[in-house]
Structure 1
Amino acid sequence: MARWLKALAALLLLTAAAARKSAPVKTEPQIEEVTAKQLERVLEDKDFVAVYWYARSCVTCDKVLEELEKIDDDTDTFGVDFVKINDKRLAKQYGITKFPALTYFREKEPIIYEGDLMDEESVLDFLTSLEAMDLPDRIEEVNQKILGKIIEDTNYVAVLFYKPECKKCAKALQELENIDDEADQLGIGFVKIHDEELAEEYSLGELPRLVYYRHQIPIIYEGELSREEDVLEWLIANKSTGDEEDVIEDVTAKTLNTLIGNIDNLVVLFCK
């Protein structure tokens, strides 16, 4: 009887050991390591890429990496690829001389993060903010997840819904990029998105369509998108009716002319 019990106990131990061996091992999120050539391909293929630059035998780099890996899954959700690289020569080409450092590439255009790398939540906010995506004279491309965050965080956002390989969309985009800087000076964000499912969900009809979100409330532009001055006037008019506080805005001469033509009573402060 004792021999039978010993055999049963041994069998149970073997079964438990086999189960532990076959069970999937849970791994923590890890930021992918890349070489210079691999990074080049990532930047070619992806619109939004966060690059963590580190050095070997760097205690601070290891600590920062541990914090940033906590948001790796979150950046994936927002469509931002997160990679790490140890290449001092390449880093120098991007103006990075101290490690660790974080560079955010938007459509291959880099910007260096100046905040606290140990604050992973602030890093995530930066990587998904409208300010980080701002490119001069260009309307920035966003995905659905980032668009939702921008609308939530920004009081005034104009969104162009378009289709790739659409001549009418391309013409509208070309015209609207002429007023991107003017809109930005007035505190109006301007982004574009090619997501036909989202456009259909919003019942936008034929694209392109411009939707202006004022304090998260959508207003659809019904005019001709190829007339950028009319679009700017419409954005200004809708912003002025939704302002919650009085702010003296700094504008260019072009924007001032638009304001004069659109607003009956306007006070202008000229300063050196």
Structure 2
Amino acid sequence: MRRVVQFNVVVILALLCIFMKGFNFSTLEVVTDDELLNLVRTEKYVVVLFTKKDCEQCDNFENELTHLREDLVDTLNAWVVKAVSSPLVRLYSPNKEPALVFFRHGSPLLYDGPANDELILHTFTENKEPIVRELSDDNFEHLTQASSGATTGDWFVMFYTTDCVECQRLQARWEAVGAKLRTRLNVARVNRQTVGAVTARRFGVWEVPTFIFFRQGYMYRYNIHKYDVASFTSFATDWYKNARKETVPVPKSPFDDFMQMIVDYLRDNPWIWKIGFGSVGFTGFFYLYH
């Protein structure tokens, strides 16, 4: 009788452990927007699934991520959470939910692939650090060797500004492009407004976002109005052949760049022309009648 009781206790405890294990790992922890932003600011690695109710595809991603959570914690020491119907999803995914985003030191990478736990794990573990290179006037030619087409490989570059909302929303997708192409070419970005102003003038970049693919001394402008990961990767691997081929201009002399800066400034501020012509007209009128 005593053995039967002990056996029953063991069975009950085993079933309870199985139940608790299933309970603990059957759903992801839900976080608010404020909690998520705090995690992104303070934690090294954060994996977040943006999801919503009554979404079968969202449920599929959550099931895969649930199975994967223990591996992500063990290999990356990452936080794995979900945000339900969060407006923050618009910052990272044009298609909204479901969106799976991996933050590395605050830098977002949008997962662009099927709901497959092995592929998700491979993508995240292979891209633990930001992939996109930040280029400036000081290092652009040295790193890319764009005009010589020399030894550093092909470069796909996004020109952006910090006050461009569309550019901010592209960051996670651009990192995804870098992850897709990392074994084939370099993916980078240049701040047209600040440290990359000279480089932007060199290539005639006036609007943002602007994308240019550099290959073997030539440049190809991405003039397609589709900003998804698949379109970007397709352009850099093959579709660029259909774009207009331009010879990469050599860096401008300081004088030529200064003159180009004046031209760009006048184009961006046409009211200066009106004031100038108005002043000339007023001066002529004054001298004519006096």
- Please report the TM-score for the alignment, with normalisation by the length of structure 1: 0.44
- Please report the TM-score for the alignment, with normalisation by the length of structure 2: 0.42
Q: Which structure has greater helix proportion?
A: 2
